[in-house]
Structure 1
Amino acid sequence: MTQRVGGLVDLLDLRRESATTWLGRTDTVHLPHIYGGQLVAQSVIAAGRTAGEERPVHSIHTTFLRAGRPGEPVRFVAETLRTGGLITTLDVGAWQGERLLCRSTVSCSALVDGLAHQRPAPPSAGAEASPDLRDVAEATGGLGDYWEEFAAIELRVDPVLRERHPAHSASTPTGIWMRSREPLPDDPLVHRATMAYASDLMLMSTAVTPHGHTTGHERSLAARWRAVSLDHAIWFHREARADAWLLFDHTTPAAHASRALIEATAFDGGGAEVCHLAQEALIRPHAG
């Protein structure tokens, strides 16, 4: 059975099959395998719908196990591991037939008043003064065939130069403005899932910036490196609209044995920190 979907809203509209099982459709991105951000985003939806709106998703930790087949639906099975006074913890498995593609531990928490702080937002030129990723990519022949399919998210590369040798990154941090191209419904869970979908787009590019790569030169990235995501974690701090501009501040603090750690912190237009994410990826140069 093949099944493709046109828009991000449709992609995140999972069909409930039982109290704990959801069926997700496949993105139109023509990759050799399902885009990891799609699986994380749909896992956020499955967990959030299972836990209920009184306990919003506040974190997800996903381990990628197998490559998914594009064009085929994915079944998400959400098991509640524990429900406490404030937090519900779920296990979400993403399946295609008998193949487990990824497994996520998702935490959902009731909203309470309490401790709050954040790091300052980084310097930025603002989204409107930042060039589109497609324009930046023209320096190396454009984004390439795969990238042309990522139409759901608009991306702009912030031109403000950061500290060249910050204590928390092996290369200069890079700011990427992102937002959904289509208006999203007033459902906070959909906006969190959209942030999860977008969060995976620029991590590989950031991972190889200490090795001479320029963010936005995605065609040269694909020509020189082969990469696969190993795991992906997101912590959601505040509500934010993902169809408004969000600044993702990307860093890479370490890599060893071809495993790179990449992090990003997202801020809304007013400078409020809305989420933080981390991913480990296996990245190796192409032979020859």
Structure 2
Amino acid sequence: MTNPAERLVDLLDLEQIEVNIFRGRSPQESLQRVFGGQVAGQALVAAGRTTDGDRPVHSLHAYFLRPGRPGVPIVYQVERVRDGRSFTTRRVTAVQQGRTIFNLTASFHQPEEGPFEHQLPPAREVPDPEALPTVTEEIRKHLGALPERLERMARRQPFDIRYADRLRWNAEEIEGADPRSAVWMRAVGPLGDDPLVHTCALTYASDMTLLDAVRIPVEPLWGPRNFDMASLDHAMWFHRPFRADEWFLYDQESPIATGGRGLARGRIYDLQGRLLVSVVQEGLFRAL
């Protein structure tokens, strides 16, 4: 398979090795740790595979406990916490080489009509995604050519990412910048019609840029790194059905960074401005 979207679908297709036990691949990457969005997405697949399929996930809460090792398989153990009339709850533990690296609790809800509806609109207007360059095009324009490592990553990237705000490249440009970032995203190819795959693919994507909002006031997003960072926890609430291979706007902000930790909040909208998903994550930041 050469299409990165197909590779993502394959990455999320876990091997079932027992009734409540699944095994996921962890590609050999030139990264220090397994990408957190991959572990979260695979854990949600494991949880969803133990439900009857007619209840979409409405929320997840997860903790990143240890860094995963690229190239080493991850085993997902599912606990069937509750099967109620309207809600199903699953707890998933991710184990690699005998050590727990991640755990997740997911809740699934039988669709029903509510007595009312409302939502806040997007906080600001942003350019249409088709009018924006891809992040790869922006980097190439600035650098002339991508470093070999970034070129390899760009070829494997399963999502088309387009920043609604201009990228900042030096300390002068970040001075006075608000801790906010907005990006358009969509899978680079079709993901099929399984709603669980789209939910897990978006879960994967939700960890890609969220901590950008914390970094914006202190360092350029694309350039020499001044800080090592790692996701500590991750929470998502799924409000409406969606497709991760259609454009969605990821509006991100950081209300606070202190004590070596930064909090980021994200709201995911479709092209019509409908709120699809809410996300909150805390990250750890340490000077290099």
What is the TM-score with the length of structure 2 in the denominator?
Answer: 0.87
2:241 is paired with a residue whose SS is: coil
CA distance in 1 between counterparts of 2:184 and 2:145 reads: 19
Cα drift, residue 270 of structure 1 = 1.6
Cα drift, residue 156 of structure 1 = 0.4
* Aligned residue identity for 1:22: F
* Aligned residue identity for 1:32: Q
Alpha-carbon contact 1:230-1:282 (below 8 Å) kept: yes
RMSD value, Cα: 2.2
113-122 or 45-54, which deviates more: 113-122
Cα drift, residue 277 of structure 1 = 0.6
Aligned to 2:267: 265
The reply on whether 1:205 has 2:205 as its aligned counterpart is no
Cα drift, residue 143 of structure 1 = 6.7
1:179 is paired with a residue whose SS is: strand
Aligned to 1:167: none
**1:72-111 CA distances to partner (integer Å, 9 max, x unpaired)?**
1111111011222211111101111311110101111111
Aligned to 2:77: 77
Query: Would the alpha carbon gap of residues 175 and 47 (structure 1) be closer, same or farther in structure 2, given more than 3 Å must change?
Result: same
202-211 or 33-42, which deviates more: 202-211
Q: Where do 1:94-113 residues align within 5 Å?
A: 94-113=94-113
CA distance in 2 between counterparts of 1:201 and 1:142 reads: 22
Give 5+ residue unaligned stretches, structure 1: 162-169
1:118 is paired with a residue whose SS is: coil
2:204 is paired with a residue whose SS is: helix
Alpha-carbon contact 2:235-2:281 (below 8 Å) kept: yes
**1:173-225 CA distances to partner (integer Å, 9 max, x unpaired)?**
321011111211101110010111111111232211132x34xx3233xx211
The reply on whether 1:11 has 2:5 as its aligned counterpart is no
Cα drift, residue 32 of structure 1 = 1.4
2:223 is paired with a residue whose SS is: helix
Cα drift, residue 229 of structure 1 = 0.9
Aligned to 2:278: 276
What is the TM-score with the length of structure 1 in the denominator?
Answer: 0.87
Aligned to 1:184: 191
Q: Where do 1:1-288 residues align within 5 Å?
A: 7-27=7-27, 29-114=29-114, 115-121=116-122, 122-138=124-140, 139=142, 145=149, 148-149=152-153, 150-159=156-165, 171=178, 173-211=180-218, 213-214=219-220, 217-220=221-224, 223-286=225-288
Query: Would the alpha carbon gap of residues 148 and 272 (structure 1) be closer, same or farther in structure 2, given more than 3 Å must change?
Result: farther
Query: Would the alpha carbon gap of residues 141 and 263 (structure 1) be closer, same or farther in structure 2, given more than 3 Å must change?
Result: farther
CA distance in 1 between counterparts of 2:109 and 2:258 reads: 35
CA distance in 1 between counterparts of 2:192 and 2:6 reads: 16
CA distance in 1 between counterparts of 2:183 and 2:229 reads: 20
How many residue pairs match? The answer is 269
CA distance in 2 between counterparts of 1:89 and 1:147 reads: 41
* Aligned residue identity for 1:248: Y
* Aligned residue identity for 2:157: A
Alpha-carbon contact 2:16-2:22 (below 8 Å) kept: yes
Query: Identity of counterpart residues, as a percentage?
Result: 36
* Aligned residue identity for 1:45: V
CA distance in 1 between counterparts of 2:45 and 2:88 reads: 15
* Aligned residue identity for 2:11: L
1:203 is paired with a residue whose SS is: coil
Aligned to 2:174: none
Cα drift, residue 6 of structure 1 = 7.4
1:119 is paired with a residue whose SS is: coil
Cα drift, residue 159 of structure 1 = 3.7
20-29 or 35-44, which deviates more: 20-29
Alpha-carbon contact 1:87-1:110 (below 8 Å) kept: yes
Query: Would the alpha carbon gap of residues 96 and 143 (structure 1) be closer, same or farther in structure 2, given more than 3 Å must change?
Result: farther
